[in-house]
Amino acid sequence: MDKPTTDTTDLALFVRTSSSQIVKWDKQRIAEALIKETDIDSKVAQFICAEVESFVKKERIKFITAPLIRELVNAKLIEYGYENIRKQHTRLGFPIFDVEQIITSHNKENANVPHGPEATNLTLAEGVKKEYALLNVFSADASDAHMNGDIHMHDLGFIDRPYCSGNSLEYVKKFGLSLPNSLSIAKPAKHPEVLIGQLIKFSAALQGTFAGAIGWDAVNLFLAPYFVGKTDKELKQYAQILLFEYAQQAVARGGQSIFSDLNLYWEIPKHFAEVPAIGPGGEFTGKVYQEYESESQRFISALFDVYLDGDARGRPFFFPKPNLHITEKFFKTTGNEEFLEKAARLSSEMGNTYYLLDRGDTAKISECCRLSFKLEAEDLEDAKTPWKMRYSAMHIATLNLPRVAYQAKGDDDRLFELILERLRLIAKAHSQKQAFIKRLLDMGQGGPLGMLTMNVDGEEYYRYNKASFLFGMVGLNEMVQFHTNQELHESDDAFKFGLRVLATMKKEAEKLKEEYGMKFVLEQTPAESTAHRLARLDLQMYPEQAKTVVKGFPERNETYYTNSTQLNISVPVNPVERVKKEGMFHPMIEAGSISHLWLGESRPDPGSISNFVKKVFKETLNDQIAFSPEFTHCLECGTTARGIPDDFGGM
């Protein structure tokens, strides 16, 4: 290449650097940075920088910033055909206008994040990491598919974390609390309130290394050895400590509460019944967990009493979420009817209870909105040493099903061909996320995921070989509606076509599992914001097609697709029929699924809800159900109540 004709002598120019310094212009420093950050040849780097210096001199710029220099360098790289080098040299960040909006305006995308300095830090950090992920972690085809809406890769702003985590309180009981970078180390707790405090502190720490929920298995059972000899009044006090301390920990990402789940049992689960119990001080008590049934039941009953009370203003405890497991053994355990009615009363009043229906010998640990880890034979063997029962989903990506229907144009073969193509692309993205997380874990205790590499029981805390990778789905109902002209609930043919789509996805996930040697499973995506994003993109890119099936109010930008495999929530389908039909998809969705029953302002009798739960368990294939009531919140006094009370006249 010929050198530019302009004389490139040093300029009397000062540069504002990104390290908050003002330094004299030095063309060589720019070239050195370009060589350090990219694969560019040194001679080409010198040429590009000479071109930039010539431009700056010609335009008589007197004061310049590091971002502007980078923009000028990138413009020259594009001009001379070095697009790949330009990509490596890209600067991540936000325009000043966007930063102003983020700092001053409430981000409404996540209802769990308050508006404040921590929240804006979160939004800014997420934005930069999201750009980094799309440019540097995932291949261009996967990134482009996400950006144009063919798929949705979740939690890109948390690219350096696994997704969700299932944990065991036995780990905390046995080893105490010794976390990397903490200023003090705690021995195993001797008192219940200390153990509860350790549980919550560890949850907060884990929230800093996982993108999603932090779930804990059999919490009431594993706490039970600490409650021997305690009165009912004391147990309720411990339950209050657990819920209030959890709910008031506004310390997680962006100043939000810890996204947490408690897996709870009325009966003693079969796989834990004969397991030696760990008690105060991390010592084995000499008994097995079956012998702590009374303490376990008394505590879960006290816990549900506190959930029913709500907080000081009558609001529900949104976190930690109580996941109540219903097993065959549940109905054979003394007191099950009385307790189930209490759980049903909580559903009717507050909507807290999530019912996990573990039929046969199925055992699961659940967290998030529906994600669950089905325990295989080797996992049940781990139950003999339950502190080792630690599970994770590393990554989730969701397939935009309505988009597939639009592109297939009524052709069955093309529709299924596109589904397989997209699933293969998601599998590729999963492998790229896995490689990135593995690189961070390999940095050990000094790396960014140091806490997940701590080893006190013979293996690292994060059991890398147990990680799942999730194929999510959004808008099955709208896909079927566009392709067959009928929604899932409108005909047997439409419903059967939906089943065929899911069966195809499951079969392909199993095939890809063998090909990649990774645990690929289907999950119903918890996709409230994703369902809106994909519907909005489709209205832009496929307006004629999308407008015929999208739900909501497009004129107000309040649009969405039906979540995952659920039936259209806005149509009056009989609750029994809804649960039965939705439940037929659940056996194919190994990583978790749920049916929501919206109560609105109604307050069903607890007996009716408990009978409904029994019927769903015995007569359907449904994996999990929850009842969702409506609340009114007074902006003046802060009171929250069910429905629209008569005395809320000032609202």
Joined together, the tokens standing for residue 235 give: 């147990």
| Phi, psi (rounded to 5 degrees) for 504 | -65, -45
Joined together, the tokens standing for residue 237 give: 């006090």
Q: Residue 612 has what DSSP assignment? A: H
Task: Decide if 199 is inside a domain.
Answer: yes
* 8 A C-beta contact, residue 186 and residue 197: no
Which residue, 337, 371, 388, sits at the end of a domain?
388
Residues 233, 382 within the same domain: yes
Residue 321 has pLDDT above 70, yes or no: yes
| Phi, psi (rounded to 5 degrees) for 391 | -130, 160
Between CA 37 and CA 62 the distance in angstroms is: 27
Mean pLDDT for all residues in the chain: 90
Least confident of 111-125, 228-242, 546-560: 111-125
Give every CB contact of residue 454 below 8 A, 6+ residues apart in sequence.
Answer: 178, 179, 180, 445, 460, 461
Residue 256 has pLDDT above 80, yes or no: no
Task: Decide if 626 is inside a domain.
Answer: no
Side chain identity, residue 392: S
Residue 255 has pLDDT above 80, yes or no: no
Residues 479, 379 within the same domain: no
pLDDT digit string (tens) for 531-546?
Answer: 999 999 999 999 999 9
Look up the domain containing 468 and give its range. Answer: 392-594
Between CA 308 and CA 319 the distance in angstroms is: 14
Between CA 159 and CA 413 the distance in angstroms is: 35
Q: Residue 598 has what DSSP assignment? A: E
Residues 57, 74 within the same domain: yes
Of 286, 171, 277, nearest to 224 by C-alpha is 277
Predicted pLDDT of residue 4: 43
Task: Decide if 621 is inside a domain.
Answer: no
CATH of the domain at 313: 3.20.70.20
pLDDT digit string (tens) for 495-504?
Answer: 999 999 999 9
* 8 A C-beta contact, residue 524 and residue 472: yes
Task: Decide if 45 is inside a domain.
Answer: yes
Specify the number of domains making up the chain: 3
Neighbours of 517 (CB within 10 A): 9
Residues 519, 428 within the same domain: yes
Give every CB contact of residue 573 below 8 A, 6+ residues apart in sequence.
Answer: 489, 567, 581
Residues 418, 544 within the same domain: yes
Residue 367 has pLDDT above 80, yes or no: no
Cα–Cα–Cα angle for 386, 387, 389, nearest 5°?
Answer: 65
Give every CB contact of residue 273 below 8 A, 6+ residues apart in sequence.
Answer: 288, 289, 290
Residues 464, 357 within the same domain: no
* 8 A C-beta contact, residue 490 and residue 572: no
Count of alpha carbons within 13 Å of 409, Cβ hemisphere only?
1
pTM of this prediction? 0.88
Which residue, 594, 625, 644, sits at the end of a domain?
594
Residues 431, 510 within the same domain: yes
Task: Decide if 609 is inside a domain.
Answer: no
Residues 286, 384 within the same domain: yes
Going through 12-121 in order, the beta strands assigned E by DSSP cover 14-16, 22-24, 63-65
Which residue, 342, 364, 388, sits at the end of a domain?
388
| Phi, psi (rounded to 5 degrees) for 444 | 70, -155
Residues 429, 359 within the same domain: no
Task: Decide if 138 is inside a domain.
Answer: no
pLDDT digit string (tens) for 506-539?
Answer: 999 999 999 999 999 999 988 778 999 999 999 9
Task: Decide if 29 is inside a domain.
Answer: yes
Residues 364, 397 within the same domain: no
Residue 399 has pLDDT above 70, yes or no: yes
Residues 547, 488 within the same domain: yes
* 8 A C-beta contact, residue 415 and residue 405: yes
Of 445, 643, 645, 490, nearest to 581 by C-alpha is 490
Residues 381, 446 within the same domain: no
